[in-house]
A and B are shown apart, each in its own frame.
Chain A
Amino acid sequence: MLSSGSPSRLRVTGSERIGPYTLVRLERGDLDPGVPGQFFMLEAPGRLLPRPFSLCLAPYRELGFLVDPIGPGTEALCRLRVGDEIGVLGPLGHGYRLDVVDRPLLVGGGIGIAPLPFLAEQLGGSPPVVLGFRSQEHAEAATLLPGAEVVVDPVPVTELIDPGFDVLACGPEPMLRAVAALCPTAQLAWEAPMACGYGACYGCVVEIDGALKRLCLEGPVLDAARVNAHAEAVA
């Protein structure tokens, strides 16, 4: 639950290109890195609303976020220089439940790779990882997860999934729905446009348990059964 107070002002300590993405590093300040899969709202310089990002890396005294420049807000974040300051709120929402994971398999698609490096670290270093990207250039981001198996379009990443594992996934909605169908016990990091990240705007609703619910409060990590429920009811 969010305590009162404005976003923390954090200084940019690094910005590096990884394929088409940019890894933005911020000094951690007094923020907790939280649980893998939780997210932070990052001020997008010059824009009215902050943007949600899951934590990618948690180096000593830093927070690292992987940004895909797809619009004016994310482009502004990719233009940040060392020494710039932005407002950051978080950690927010519910992350992956690591206590129920016995044989982890991390599955990422595109920018959905973002929470996996921190997740791998919290799982003890080198769980198996499978990744799918839309191009070789995008696949350069796989360097964030050494040892990962990688496929590129048109091969779907689901071809690399052994359903016997405890799947922890993040990626575009079609990928997550395919993973949910294959692995009914998977934990899926979902995505939706958000204005606030703490339940105020009601903008980020997703069909969860058969009803529109706020992803920022229910997720962003959801059990596959919660997004499958309605699909099965309709079928």
Chain B
Amino acid sequence: MRILNASGCLDALAAPDIARQLDAFVTKTVTPLPREGSAPPRIAETAHGMLNAIGLANPGRDHFLAEHLPRLGELGVPLWVSVGGFCADDYAETCSRLTDIEAIELNLSCPNVDEAADSAAEIVAACRHATELSLYAKLSAAHPDVAEVARAVAAAGADGLSLINTLRATALDKRLRPVLARGSGGLSGPALKPIALHAVSVCAEATGLPIVGMGGIGSGRDALEFAACGARDIALGTVLFADPGAPARVRAELAAVCADLGVATPDDATCLAKSPETERKVHA
């Protein structure tokens, strides 16, 4: 089981020693044009989670490729580039210009920008034609049937799935006004874990694709639960904000919790927990 960061939850150039704890570093989402992002306030703590409305702040594709990617390459950590856009061609163009990285994660589910006009499967299909690099589709659990979306992107050529993105949410201040300037943001943190575990479970069953599980992972036990639901790898997000040493800590805890449960490695825990819902679908 590899430990990655969730896209947008670590700046490897600002904190290279933290990034080097990871098995792969996932960049913040890159869009065709530069984006300054949302006005502040951008973050708010909630019960068991936090909201963010960063708004895909990034330097844009050209600057990223010319300035950031070469410097990231010097870190010595395998790189995944998170790609975003507003139509299938946006994504495909960026994919076609990426080389010398381990994988591309297609951000098909940012809650802080308007939906792309094209469907997830259309975007994946366009990117599939544009690159031979490994393509991971990052999906939202806000869809009524995330397994259906997973099947569609698998059919369109995705090599793997990243599950899940934050969920759109709102928090109010003492005067009952939204805390975030944007009004809503993406909910992350421990509140997401049960939702993410379910999404991983049904998508693993539906597609058999390798999955990077994420959503509220803060401990080795959490990571092993994602493996049990079918995740091959995991990503750390919100926990990095409170604990930049989380990658090394979670890796150590993972080994300890495997030993406690009599599981040789996290991979041996994969799919130990099958959701009853998935079982019923299989038998139907």
- The residues of A with any CB-CB pair to B shorter than 8 Å are 1-7, 41, 43, 47-50, 73, 87, 89, 192-196, 198-206, 211-212, 217
Docked-complex contact A2 and B244, CB < 8 angstroms: yes
Q: With A203-B52, A205-B37 known to touch, is A4 a contact of B245 (CB < 8 Å)?
A: yes
Docked-complex contact B18 and A49, CB < 8 angstroms: no
Docked-complex contact B40 and A49, CB < 8 angstroms: no
B210 adjacent to chain A (CB < 8 Å): no
Docked-complex contact A202 and B37, CB < 8 angstroms: yes
Inside 8 A of A73's CB, which chain B residues have their CB?
45
Q: Which of B15, B42, B248 contacts A205 (CB 8 A)?
A: B42
Within the complex, the shortest CB–CB distance from B14 to chain A, in Å, comes to 3
Q: Which of B11, B14, B50 contacts A49 (CB 8 A)?
A: B50
Docked-complex contact A203 and B246, CB < 8 angstroms: no
Can you list 5 pairs linking A and B with CB atoms under 8 Å apart?
A: A4-B248, A48-B49, A48-B238, A198-B15, A202-B37
Q: With A48-B238, A203-B54 known to touch, is A6 a contact of B11 (CB < 8 Å)?
A: no
Docked-complex contact A5 and B242, CB < 8 angstroms: no
Docked-complex contact A5 and B245, CB < 8 angstroms: yes
Inside 8 A of A198's CB, which chain B residues have their CB?
14-15, 18, 244
Complex CA–CA separation, A200 to B18 (angstroms): 10
Docked-complex contact A202 and B238, CB < 8 angstroms: no
Within the complex, the shortest CB–CB distance from B184 to chain A, in Å, comes to 15
Complex CA–CA separation, A27 to B8 (angstroms): 34
Docked-complex contact A6 and B244, CB < 8 angstroms: yes
Docked-complex contact B42 and A203, CB < 8 angstroms: yes
Within the complex, the shortest CB–CB distance from B254 to chain A, in Å, comes to 15
Chain B residues numbered 1-17 whose CB sits less than 8 Å from any CB in chain A = 8-11, 14-17
Inside 8 A of A204's CB, which chain B residues have their CB?
40, 43
Q: Which of A41, A87, A201 contacts B43 (CB 8 A)?
A: A201
- Chain A: CB-nearest residue to B36: A212
Q: With A48-B189, A87-B243 known to touch, is A206 a contact of B40 (CB < 8 Å)?
A: yes
Docked-complex contact B244 and A203, CB < 8 angstroms: no
B194 adjacent to chain A (CB < 8 Å): no
Docked-complex contact B245 and A49, CB < 8 angstroms: no
B240 adjacent to chain A (CB < 8 Å): yes
Complex CA–CA separation, A211 to B57 (angstroms): 12
Docked-complex contact A6 and B245, CB < 8 angstroms: yes
B129 adjacent to chain A (CB < 8 Å): no
Docked-complex contact A205 and B40, CB < 8 angstroms: yes
Within the complex, the shortest CB–CB distance from A126 to chain B, in Å, comes to 37
Apart from the given pairs A201-B9, A204-B43, A205-B37, 20 other A-B contacts in the complex at a CB distance below 8 Å: A2-B15, A2-B18, A3-B17, A4-B21, A5-B248, A6-B244, A6-B245, A48-B48, A48-B50, A49-B242, A193-B40, A193-B43, A195-B238, A195-B242, A196-B240, A196-B244, A199-B15, A202-B37, A204-B40, A205-B42
Docked-complex contact A4 and B244, CB < 8 angstroms: yes
Q: With A195-B50, A202-B57 known to touch, is A48 a contact of B190 (CB < 8 Å)?
A: yes
Inside 8 A of A212's CB, which chain B residues have their CB?
36-37, 39-40, 57
Inside 8 A of B36's CB, which chain A residues have their CB?
211-212
Docked-complex contact A200 and B11, CB < 8 angstroms: yes
Complex CA–CA separation, A87 to B244 (angstroms): 12
Docked-complex contact A48 and B21, CB < 8 angstroms: no
Complex CA–CA separation, A204 to B36 (angstroms): 13
B41 adjacent to chain A (CB < 8 Å): yes
Inside 8 A of B44's CB, which chain A residues have their CB?
193
Docked-complex contact B54 and A49, CB < 8 angstroms: no
Complex CA–CA separation, A217 to B249 (angstroms): 25
Inside 8 A of A48's CB, which chain B residues have their CB?
45, 48-50, 189-190, 238, 242
Chain B residues numbered 103-147 whose CB sits less than 8 Å from any CB in chain A = none
Complex CA–CA separation, A43 to B242 (angstroms): 8
Which among A41, A48, A49, A196 has the greatest number of chain B C-beta atoms within 10 A?
A48
Task: For the complex of A and B, list the 7 residue pairs with the smallest distance between their C-beta atoms, beginning with the closest.
Answer: A6-B245, A199-B14, A203-B43, A196-B241, A4-B17, A195-B241, A5-B245
Which among A4, A50, A89, A212 has the greatest number of chain B C-beta atoms within 10 A?
A4
Within the complex, the shortest CB–CB distance from A196 to chain B, in Å, comes to 4
Complex CA–CA separation, A2 to B246 (angstroms): 14
B20 adjacent to chain A (CB < 8 Å): yes
Chain B residues numbered 150-164 whose CB sits less than 8 Å from any CB in chain A = none
Docked-complex contact B243 and A195, CB < 8 angstroms: no
Inside 8 A of B10's CB, which chain A residues have their CB?
200
